[in-house]
Amino acid sequence: MDRKMLRDDQWERIEQLLLGKVSDRGCTAKDNRRFVEAVLWIMRTGSPWRDLPAEFGHWHRTYVRFSRWREKGVFERVAHAMQGDADMEQLFIDSTIVRAHQHSAGAKKKRVDRKSVDRGVD
């Protein structure tokens, strides 16, 4: 993996916010930086998890780890730490800033009664 998304100074800012540090109780993470780079790759490309390049690790284990970290609020802490960094401002998008059209959520469509339209009835 020659091309990384995180610069060293960015990594140093978030490294202590991640789970699995040596100072944490329990299991120490194998390679947090490679994992974060994998998540950033998915975010940048919009690819399905199954298309994650092998150099980032097995896609399913990476997804499961991502899901656990998401539930524990790790990515929210990382987003706050990276706030204002021009390189990262487009990567951290959540539902508070993305709005969908009502029909994209499966809202019932209004049906027009053609008979009443033809007669001029509203």
Q: Which of 1, 29, 3, 4 is closest to 15 using CA atoms? A: 29
pTM of the predicted model, to two decimals?
A: 0.62
pLDDT tens-place string over residues 43-63: 888 899 999 999 999 999 999
Tens digits of residue pLDDT in 18-38: 887 666 665 667 788 899 999
Contact 41, 53 (CB under 8 A): yes
Q: Which among 63, 91, 64 is positioned nearest to 78, based on CA atoms?
A: 91
